[in-house]
């Protein structure tokens, strides 16, 4: 009996030591993840704050339940409270195994349901349509008043105002996610899904596709720029203007003669291209290729010459037949589109 108790005690100490080591390994990793660009703990939106609060409630509850379960198991193994009666055992099983879980799950369900948005129609609400494609984002702004405008691979929204995102997909299931502002929602071919988000803090945040969608899934991101309301209105007005370009520019001629206008639209120069991203104000965007590189002339030259070297399976063909001078002219022209 003494040997059995000693073995049980050793097993308990071994289990406790292993658990403690695991916690010590995970804590630094969790702490370091809190400051990453896609951290859900860097709250900048109403919905992300609500999700984070629910997370902490679940985390604390899970720890409490784990401690109770482990404490009960240890007490039973070491017979700390003696041998219980059959009635005590049955009462414990019914209470801890049925009643308590039912109450806990009901409370958690009710708390989760309170996070669902109220979908009353609001004609004054800004709508942003986002169309997921392999592997980039088509974006269309639909303000309550005034004409809409088309963009790509970057999203701008006002701070302190709810924005309704209308999400669709052209090919496979994508998932739209801005961790700092709100939860994610799938984009399903043939259907429209809607997500209501309200950003609180002006700044630049990172959004991603959170559903594996093919070869370049990990390279499908976008910048989210949150403006003060008056600055957003000014930005939206500028975004709706045609590009300030001239047919006589060497870069514009190369854009047209090389076939770029067959896939890409530049308002005021080439209005028919709808296959690829809209480039009317591409020079003002922070990144190219849906978030894979900073928007610099050097990166643009590399992208135009060989896009698949930067994004495998990209639908855009290579233009390495252009000379270095022509590539520089074309990239410089695109960078000037602001």
Q: Write out the DSSP string of 19-55.
A: HHHHHHHHHHHHHHHTTSTT-TTS--BHHHHHHHHHH
CA quadruple 121, 126, 200, 292: dihedral positive or negative?
positive
Length of the chain: 338
CATH code for residues 126-229? 2.60.40.420
Instruction: Encode the chain (338 residues) as per-residue pLDDT tens digits.
Output: 443 444 444 444 444 444 444 444 444 444 444 557 778 888 899 999 998 998 998 898 889 888 888 988 888 888 777 788 888 888 888 888 888 889 988 988 888 888 777 766 677 889 999 999 999 999 999 998 878 899 999 999 999 999 999 999 999 999 999 999 998 999 999 999 999 999 999 999 999 999 999 999 999 999 999 999 999 999 999 999 998 887 778 999 999 999 999 999 999 888 888 999 999 999 999 999 999 999 999 999 999 999 999 999 999 999 999 999 999 999 999 999 98
What values do phi and psi take at 150, rounded to 5? Answer: -110, 140
pLDDT of residue 300: 96
Are 105 and 184 in contact by the 8 Å Cβ rule? The answer is no
User: Cα separation of 160 and 21, whole Å?
Assistant: 44
Going edge to edge, which strands form the sheet with 221-227? 154-158, 221-227, 203-209, 174-177, 185-187
pLDDT of residue 22: 46
Domain ranges of the chain: 2-26+34-113, 126-229, 250-335
Q: Would you put residue 203 in left (φ > 0), alpha (ψ -120 to 50) or beta?
A: left
For 119, the token pair is 């979908």
CATH superfamily for 250-335 is Cupredoxins -  blue copper proteins (2.60.40.420)
CA angle 218, 178, 263 (to 5 degrees): 60
Distances (CA, A) of 310 to 217, 262, 278, 285, 305: 13, 22, 20, 18, 10
pLDDT of residue 117: 72
Longest dimension (CA), the chain: 97
């Amino acid at each position: 009996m003494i040997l059995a108790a000693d073995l049980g005690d050793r097993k308990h100490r071994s289990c406790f030591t292993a658990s403690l080591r695991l916690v010590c390994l995970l804590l630094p990793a969790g702490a370091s993840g809190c400051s990453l660009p896609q951290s859900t703990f860097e709250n900048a939106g109403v919905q992300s704050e609500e999700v984070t609060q629910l997370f902490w409630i679940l985390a604390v509850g899970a720890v409490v339940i784990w401690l109770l379960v482990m404490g009960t198991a240890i007490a039973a193994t070491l017979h700390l409270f003696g041998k219980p009666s059959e009635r005590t055992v049955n009462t414990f099983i019914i209470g801890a195994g049925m009643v308590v879980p039912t109450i806990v799950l009901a409370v958690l369900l009710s708390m989760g349901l309170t996070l669902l948005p109220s979908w009353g129609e609001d004609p004054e609400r800004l709508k942003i349509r986002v169309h997921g494609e392999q592997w980039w984002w088509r974006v269309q702004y639909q303000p309550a008043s005034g004409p809409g405008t088309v963009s790509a691979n970057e999203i701008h929204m006002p701070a302190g105002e709810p924005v309704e995102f209308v999400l669709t997909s052209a090919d496979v299931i994508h998932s739209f996610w801005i961790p700092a502002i709100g939860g994610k929602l799938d984009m399903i071919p043939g259907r429209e899904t809607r997500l209501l988000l309200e950003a609180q803090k002006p700044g630049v945040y990172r959004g991603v596709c959170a559903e594996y969608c093919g070869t370049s899934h990990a390279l499908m991101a976008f910048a989210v720029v949150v403006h003060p309301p008056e600055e957003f209105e000014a930005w939206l007005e500028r975004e709706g203007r045609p590009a300030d370009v001239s047919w006589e520019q060497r870069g514009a001629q190369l854009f047209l003669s090389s076939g770029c206008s067959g896939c890409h639209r530049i308002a005021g120069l080439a209005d028919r291209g709808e296959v690829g991203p809209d480039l009317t104000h591409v020079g003002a965007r922070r990144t190219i290729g849906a978030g894979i590189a900073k928007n610099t002339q050097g990166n643009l030259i590399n992208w135009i010459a060989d896009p698949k070297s930067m994004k495998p399976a990209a639908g855009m063909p290579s233009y390495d037949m252009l000379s270095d001078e022509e590539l520089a002219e074309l990239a410089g022209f695109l960078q000037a589109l602001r």
